[in-house]
Chains A and B, each alone.
Chain A
Amino acid sequence: MKRPLLLSLTVTLLLIGAAVRVDHDVGMGRAVRMARSAFAATDSPTLDPPPTTHAVFSKLLQGVGISNPNGEITSGDVFGDTPKNLYIYTYQQIFERPDKDAMLELAGAYGLTLVDAQAVLQGSVAPLMRGKINYTQSKAVADVQKIQKSYSEILRQRQMKYDLQLAVLPTEIFSNGNLDDSGFDLINDLNLIEEVLFVDKTKVYLNQQPFGPKSISLKDAVQKIANIGSTGTSSNLAGSSGGGTANPSSDTSLASNQAKTFTLDDILKSSSASGNPLNYCASGSPLNKALDQYAQSGADSTNNTSSDTTGQSTNSGSPVVATSIENIDVSTMTPPELVQVPVKSQGVFMPPTNSFCNEIGGTLLYTYRTKIGGSEHEIFCLSLEKKIRTYTSFSPTKTCIQCTIAAMNEDMKKLLSKNITPNKLTGNTYESTKCKSAIQLSDRLNMNIIMVPTPVITPNKYGPFVTGDFSKRLNAYVRNYLPYGNPKDSTPERVKDEALANAGANADQVNVVDQIQAQLAVNRKDFINNQSIQPIQDTGASKNASYQQMIKEMRQMTAYFQSFQDIFVRLGTNAQNVCDKNDVNS
């Protein structure tokens, strides 16, 4: 009984001894010896495997509310509306990215999958030998070693890359021109300001919203017209509701119909095949030719044509044929008069080959029967076209401030080169031949915009990024950060020299060394005591002061812009007053 008790006590003591050392960098051999002794008579504990990187980050991201099956935090998860998750993003960049990138590069270089590459790195030759006939085991082993060596080199390079990146990233994250790694970026801000001031841009996006005058593209214009038609005449154009047709497939929206272009043959085929005539706009219409023929045929022929078109009797007068085009305000064409032809139910839409609608071949947008004059079986041919014209010399592609000013000066150059002040007959000697009130008007027209460069006020002597006494800061840095304080009197060499100088002739080597060690210990203690928050305060205050100065400059510049803006407001009023003058408007 005594022996187990003694052994148990020994184990306990040694366990305590092992625990005593847990937080120290103990020597491997000593720890091994202790552990061997401690666990010699105990059951072998189980070893839980190290967590996989994927498992760690999956759990981590799930914990912070990021759902990503790949266990990767993306740049979109960092910042956003509010800054968030920068820490995890940084941590993952450090912990995982070098390995992952190196593995990807290795797999790509040797044509392996990621799984195979990992297996090879762990010493497996199977992925290399798979499917190869004359590939010996020894060759495979050699290749595995080669790949492992290659991976080490790639990993080293990747690690170096990320180390360098890590050294720079924190200080540049908000000023590297990249919004992907942060929610804002000063370089990006400056780029935006520069674009507004100087650069020609079709669109400048601010928070995904374009600003400046909007230019409407042809496509947008067409779509806009389509929307007008579909909304303004929806009750009639929808087909299923207005015309009372029972065919559900005819309930196709106009917008979707507009997406395709059909020839008339297509329409007819479709109509005959499915019984569903499509109100599509055919392409390549000889509209002008048809219009000419229509004009030549005279007003009477119109009735005949429409009668031919429908194939039914019509005595309701001329059908309305709208062909013009830019003069038509489509938004006002909401028809109670227009009702879409319920084609299937009545079978009236079969444009004969010699009809007017067929002659204009394909410009047919919609077919309607009209209630004009009481007839319900008129084919109504409508062609719509919207032409967008620039009504001023303003070019929508020039959206910068400098471009606008330059364009204004250019536009005004021709006008201001002439004297537009009205003359009058002189009544008196030496009297001006110009109308006096107009002279005042002329002065107003002599507008020009002068840009006055404003000097940027920066802290003198050291520029905007360094403030205060640099040498003083350097001394503070040396005093507080270098291992032994001021190098003038505290470096180990100086301590050694002083110790030798003060040792005297009879001092032995041991005394000198002791003296040096004592002095170094004192200096080290002083260094720790001196390592206060003050240098950090200085550094932070210095940077803050620099940026505060820049903020003041920005505010000053903003004030200039504000004053210019006020000037433009007044200028706009005056310009309108000039336009409103009777003589100008006449």
Chain B
Amino acid sequence: MSFFSSHNGIVKKSSFRSPLGHGIFSGVLVSLLVSLALQLIPLTSNAADNTPFTVNDLAKIQQKLMNTDDSMENLSSLYHQTVNNIVNAYMDAFTKNNSDDKALTAPPKNDAECSAVGATMNLSTYCLFLRIDTLYATYSKSLRVKQSTVLQDINAIQHGGEYQEATANSYVSRQKWINKELTASQSALDSVLRSYSELLIQYPMHLEYQKTLKLLIKYYDHLVDVRKKVDTYPARFQDVTTANCT
């Protein structure tokens, strides 16, 4: 069971993804819930300067992602860049966090804990997921809208007697591209979240190994110092016999 799928049920409860999902009103409802969710999670940009963590930044990005008139290339680039920046910021914040406070990486008891910012920002995978999921839901929804638009386009042209093979090919390739993008986006998100989860666990181990390794190198240096002195013993003690006690 993937991390993504295992969280799906939770996210439905906690994020703006509407369980209704029906009709034109769902778009309005989704927008409202997006705003509401963003208000509940006051994200701020302190993990990385170039990361859109502020409420306004995220709201603007989501607004752009909702713009289905924009090209798929722009939507895709915007979404993946944003997610990449957020993941970068979390990884950066975690690896630079010298605190021994395990609570920062422990899963939150409730979603509200993910709203903590600054030094007490919850760096758990769940909170990272919660932030990205809002963007993912918006992006995937926009892609589906465009997918539906494509369907209308091709039938309009066909019905108008202007059907062309090239247009049909374009329609098919766009459908394929969107389907592939939807799958790849979800898999990439799932994969990177699991990687981040591993990072939380294994990076501290790595630091301990590094400490051990550095100590061993010092250990070895001291051992070599001893050896350099001891190596001269056989030569120094040759023909040193004396009849006098010293």
Residues of A within 8 A of B (CB): 16, 18-24, 31-32, 35-36, 38-40, 42, 44-51, 55-56, 59-60, 63-64, 82-88, 90-91, 94-95, 166, 169-171, 173-175, 184-186, 189-190, 192-193, 196-197, 206, 211-213, 392-394, 399-401, 404-405, 407-408, 411-412, 414-415, 420, 422-425, 435-438, 445, 447, 481, 528, 531-533, 535-537, 540-541, 543-544, 547-548, 550-551, 554-555, 557-558, 561-562, 564-565, 568-569, 571-572, 575-576, 578-579, 581-586
A415 touches B72 (CB 8 A): no
Q: A170-B198, A401-B220 are in contact. Are A551 and B242 (CB under 8 A)?
A: no
B126 touches A558 (CB 8 A): no
Q: A39-B152, A51-B76, A91-B188 are in contact. Are A415 and B208 (CB under 8 A)?
A: no
Q: Considering only CB atoms, which chain B residue lies closest to A192 in the complex?
A: B213
A47 to B198, CA, bound (A): 43
B145 close to chain A: CB less than 8 A: yes
In the assembled complex, the CB of A374 is this many whole angstroms from the nearest CB of chain B, namely 48
A44 touches B156 (CB 8 A): yes
Residues of B within 8 A of A (CB): 1, 6-7, 9-10, 21-24, 26-27, 71-73, 76-77, 80-81, 83-85, 87-88, 91-92, 95-96, 102, 105-110, 124-126, 141, 144-145, 148-157, 159-160, 162, 167, 170-171, 173-174, 176-178, 180-181, 184-185, 187-189, 191-206, 208-213, 215-220, 222-234, 236-237, 240-246
A575 touches B229 (CB 8 A): yes
A548 to B205, CA, bound (A): 8
B217 touches A84 (CB 8 A): no
B236 touches A193 (CB 8 A): no
B191 touches A94 (CB 8 A): yes
A558 to B106, CA, bound (A): 26
What are 6 A-B pairs at a CB distance below 8 A?
Answer: A87-B83, A95-B180, A196-B220, A394-B231, A547-B205, A572-B226
Q: A174-B203, A196-B220 are in contact. Are A88 and B234 (CB under 8 A)?
A: no
Q: A49-B174, A583-B246 are in contact. Are A174 and B206 (CB under 8 A)?
A: yes
A56 touches B76 (CB 8 A): yes
Q: A95-B181, A572-B226 are in contact. Are A401 and B216 (CB under 8 A)?
A: yes
Q: Considering only CB atoms, which chain B residue lies closest to A91 in the complex?
A: B188
A170 touches B194 (CB 8 A): yes
The 8 Å CB contact of B73, one of A56, A175, A189, is A56
A424 touches B77 (CB 8 A): no
The 8 Å CB contact of A536, one of B7, B145, B191, is B7
In the assembled complex, the CB of B198 is this many whole angstroms from the nearest CB of chain A, namely 5
A582 to B216, CA, bound (A): 34
B77 touches A32 (CB 8 A): no
B184 touches A95 (CB 8 A): yes
Given contacts A35-B156, A422-B242, A435-B246, 10 further A-B contacts (CB under 8 A): A47-B154, A84-B88, A91-B185, A184-B206, A206-B213, A414-B234, A424-B244, A531-B9, A540-B107, A565-B219
A-B CB proximity, top 9 nearest:
A39-B156, A170-B194, A189-B209, A435-B245, A51-B73, A91-B188, A575-B229, A568-B222, A83-B91
In the assembled complex, the CB of A346 is this many whole angstroms from the nearest CB of chain B, namely 52
A86 touches B91 (CB 8 A): yes
For residue B193, which residues in chain A have a CB less than 8 angstroms away from its CB?
Answer: 170
In the assembled complex, the CB of A534 is this many whole angstroms from the nearest CB of chain B, namely 9
A23 to B17, CA, bound (A): 12
In the assembled complex, the CB of B139 is this many whole angstroms from the nearest CB of chain A, namely 12
In the assembled complex, the CB of B129 is this many whole angstroms from the nearest CB of chain A, namely 10
A91 touches B216 (CB 8 A): no
For residue A51, which residues in chain B have a CB less than 8 angstroms away from its CB?
Answer: 71-73, 76, 177
A60 touches B80 (CB 8 A): yes
A193 touches B219 (CB 8 A): no
A543 to B203, CA, bound (A): 13
A424 to B242, CA, bound (A): 9
For residue A422, which residues in chain B have a CB less than 8 angstroms away from its CB?
Answer: 241-246
A554 touches B208 (CB 8 A): yes
In the assembled complex, the CB of B165 is this many whole angstroms from the nearest CB of chain A, namely 11
For residue B217, which residues in chain A have a CB less than 8 angstroms away from its CB?
Answer: 196, 206, 211-212
Q: Considering only CB atoms, which chain B residue lies closest to A21 in the complex?
A: B148
A584 touches B184 (CB 8 A): no
For residue A196, which residues in chain B have a CB less than 8 angstroms away from its CB?
Answer: 213, 216-217, 220
B173 touches A49 (CB 8 A): yes
For residue B1, which residues in chain A have a CB less than 8 angstroms away from its CB?
Answer: 481
In the assembled complex, the CB of A256 is this many whole angstroms from the nearest CB of chain B, namely 37
Q: Considering only CB atoms, which chain A residue lies closest to B236 in the complex?
A: A584
In the assembled complex, the CB of B88 is this many whole angstroms from the nearest CB of chain A, namely 5
Q: A193-B209, A404-B224 are in contact. Are A581 and B156 (CB under 8 A)?
A: no
B144 touches A22 (CB 8 A): yes
Q: Considering only CB atoms, which chain A residue lies closest to B71 in the complex?
A: A48
The 8 Å CB contact of A23, one of B10, B26, B228, is B26
Q: A24-B21, A86-B192, A547-B205 are in contact. Are A35 and B151 (CB under 8 A)?
A: yes
A541 touches B234 (CB 8 A): no
For residue B23, which residues in chain A have a CB less than 8 angstroms away from its CB?
Answer: 19-20
In the assembled complex, the CB of B192 is this many whole angstroms from the nearest CB of chain A, namely 5
Q: A536-B107, A565-B215 are in contact. Are A50 and B72 (CB under 8 A)?
A: yes
A407 to B231, CA, bound (A): 9
The 8 Å CB contact of A420, one of B80, B178, B185, B237, is B237
B77 touches A59 (CB 8 A): yes
In the assembled complex, the CB of A226 is this many whole angstroms from the nearest CB of chain B, namely 29
In the assembled complex, the CB of A15 is this many whole angstroms from the nearest CB of chain B, namely 9
For residue A435, which residues in chain B have a CB less than 8 angstroms away from its CB?
Answer: 245-246
A405 to B231, CA, bound (A): 12
The 8 Å CB contact of A586, one of B126, B209, B240, is B240
Q: Considering only CB atoms, which chain A residue lies closest to B154 in the complex?
A: A47
B216 touches A544 (CB 8 A): no
For residue A42, which residues in chain B have a CB less than 8 angstroms away from its CB?
Answer: 156
A561 touches B215 (CB 8 A): yes
A404 to B227, CA, bound (A): 8
For residue A39, which residues in chain B have a CB less than 8 angstroms away from its CB?
Answer: 152, 155-156, 159-160
B156 touches A550 (CB 8 A): no
The 8 Å CB contact of B240, one of A190, A565, A584, is A584
The 8 Å CB contact of B80, one of A22, A88, A213, A562, is A88
Q: Considering only CB atoms, which chain A residue lies closest to B91 in the complex?
A: A83
A134 to B191, CA, bound (A): 52
A423 to B246, CA, bound (A): 11
A561 touches B219 (CB 8 A): yes
A232 to B217, CA, bound (A): 35
A90 touches B192 (CB 8 A): yes
In the assembled complex, the CB of A393 is this many whole angstroms from the nearest CB of chain B, namely 5
The 8 Å CB contact of A63, one of B77, B178, B234, B242, is B77
B194 touches A171 (CB 8 A): yes
Q: Considering only CB atoms, which chain A residue lies closest to B167 in the complex?
A: A47
For residue B224, which residues in chain A have a CB less than 8 angstroms away from its CB?
Answer: 212-213, 394, 404
